[in-house]
Amino acid sequence: MLGGAATAAVMLFKSSYGKMIQAAIPESVLQSADPTKTIGPPPGEIGTRSAFEHVVKKTSDISSRTPLQDLYGVITPSDLHYERHHAGVPVIDPHKYELLIHGMVNKPMVFTLADLKRFPSVSRICFLECSGNFRNSKETLTPQEICGLTSQSEWTGVMLSTLFREVGVQPKASWFLAEGGDAAIMTRSIPVKKAWDDAMIVYAQNGEAIRPEQGYPVRLLLPGWEGNTSVKWLRRLELSDQPYMTREETSKYTYAVKDSIRQFSFEMDARSIITFPAFPQQVAKGWIEIRGIAWSGWGKIVKVEISTDAGKTWQAARLQEPVLDKAHTGFRYLWQWNGDTTEIMSRAIDETGYTQPTLQQLVNARGTDMGGYHMNPITAWVIQRDGKVLFKPEKWK
């Protein structure tokens, strides 16, 4: 539509999400037309990534991995959050959504999504990580391939303790079962003490409703604990005085570093990864800002150390503030590379005093038959003389 005398032309634009948009261009814009400047489409209903950016997840049939090497800061854009699901992404109508809490409670209750949103809400930034988040098969692996089964969001919802007070969890109840609405056999038993601590029932992620891939409309969020306990598409919590011994809980491979072998190894131990420089980048001699992220399921990261001489000496990296509890924490270290072949590595230290181990230390603690879960070893990048960066795979079997 031509609106008023000031409009000189109507132009047609293809918006970045494909729709054709008609826009009236004011006379003043046309008159000052400078060929080195461009006229673009008007505001759209939804923003999009620049057409020049090709940042994508790496997918398989069962998971998709966050491109850690392509991100800035510590919030994972929601559409790049890793995914792990065992029966696909179910479509759940939020108007029909219900969460049942029953078992050892005084008052079994069903909560709709609207009910959940009426409770006092909280937001927190924390990471999520799959316990199977480690690959080290070859030199040509990117950070995404090595450990892209971790992402970080700001989550909003209600504290599980609020709901547990509402239903009157009985003093003898020490475990609860969390069940999703998808066909996956991912039901998990969770100690009730996690609910009194920091467990959340979340319905929002990075400022909007959580994505279907992350559990829309509601998921359980257990900060710092292995991803599979944060049950998505949550529909039922049942309180009990013992664990339910679901399939996941009778598996042979349930290891954590702290006490070597445990049936329930919930916390994700401290870990870090250098995301720059990394394969497949090539660097030049001179100053290089080594960058990466570190995180721990036990609390805050207090220190990240960098070695640029294959682990002989270590120096402290700078941590990006604010350093949050159970959260991806950015680190940086300025390094002057002299052009000789070397190996660079990082190690995270958390507030419990725990230091990220070498692969050899993991093997010493657990043996070689450790199944591949809770693998958080220090990893190295080899910088070749030509500046090419390669991952250093280490075998443990």
Binding footprint of Mo ion on the chain (CB under 5 A): 84, 130, 227-228
Nearer to Mo ion, 82 or 203 (CB): 82
Q: How many residues belong to the chain?
A: 397
Instruction: Output the CA angle 305-308-314, nearest 5 degrees.
Output: 35
How far from 193 is each of 174, 199, 248, CA to CA, in Å?
7, 9, 20
Binding partner of 231, given Mo ion, ligand MTE, none, CB within 5-8 angstroms per partner class: ligand MTE
Binding partner of 205, given ligand MTE, Mo ion, none, CB within 5-8 angstroms per partner class: none
Residue 230 in contact with ligand MTE, rule: CB under 6 A: yes
Nearer to Mo ion, 227 or 277 (CB): 227
Name the minimum Å distance from CB 329 to ligand MTE.
19
Q: Decide the pairing of beta strands 318-319 and 329-337.
A: antiparallel
Site string for ligand MTE, 138-177 (x = CB under 6 A): ----------------------------------------
3-state helix, strand, coil in the chain (%, to 5): 15, 35, 50
For CA atoms 296, 301, 302, 305, give the dihedral sign: positive
Nearer to ligand MTE, 19 or 86 (CB): 86
In angstroms, the first-to-last Cα distance of the chain is 71
Among 76, 156, 189, 214, indicate the residue that binds ligand MTE (CB under 6 A).
214
Residue 223 in contact with ligand MTE, rule: CB under 6 A: no
Among 82, 134, 203, 279, indicate the residue that binds ligand MTE (CB under 6 A).
82
Window 173 to 202, contacts with ligand MTE (CB under 6 A): 180, 182, 184, 186
Among 99, 125, 128, 201, indicate the residue that binds ligand MTE (CB under 6 A).
128
Contact 10, 2 (CB under 8 A): yes
Stretch that binds ligand MTE, among 75-83, 113-121, 300-308, 325-333 (CB under 6 A): 75-83
Q: Decide the pairing of beta strands 271-276 and 318-319.
A: unpaired
Q: Is the peptide bond before 43 cis (omega within 30 degrees of 0)?
A: no
As a whole number of angstroms, the distance between CA 273 and CA 261 comes to: 25
Place of tokens 């900060």: 223
As a whole number of angstroms, the distance between CA 15 and CA 20 comes to: 6
Name the minimum Å distance from CB 132 to ligand MTE.
8
Binding partner of 125, given ligand MTE, Mo ion, none, CB within 5-8 angstroms per partner class: none
Binding partner of 85, given ligand MTE, Mo ion, none, CB within 5-8 angstroms per partner class: ligand MTE
Q: Which residues contact 245 (CB under 8 A, 6 or more apart)?
A: 189
Q: Which residues contact 304 (CB under 8 A, 6 or more apart)?
A: 272, 292, 294, 316, 317, 319, 329, 331, 346, 347, 348, 349
Among 57, 81, 291, 366, indicate the residue that binds ligand MTE (CB under 6 A).
81
Window 86 to 105, contacts with ligand MTE (CB under 6 A): 86
As a whole number of angstroms, the distance between CA 197 and CA 212 comes to: 27
Name the minimum Å distance from CB 256 to Mo ion.
15
Name the minimum Å distance from CB 356 to ligand MTE.
20
For CA atoms 294, 298, 300, 303, give the dihedral sign: negative
Name the minimum Å distance from CB 148 to Mo ion.
12
Name the minimum Å distance from CB 84 to Mo ion.
4
Name the minimum Å distance from CB 296 to ligand MTE.
17
Among 65, 124, 232, 374, indicate the residue that binds ligand MTE (CB under 6 A).
232
How far from 42 is each of 38, 45, 118, CA to CA, in Å?
12, 10, 37
Residue 83 in contact with ligand MTE, rule: CB under 6 A: yes
Binding partner of 115, given Mo ion, ligand MTE, none, CB within 5-8 angstroms per partner class: none
Place of tokens 């609106």: 3
Applying CB under 6 A, the residues found at the interface with ligand MTE are 81-86, 128, 130, 180, 182, 184, 186, 213-214, 227-228, 230-233
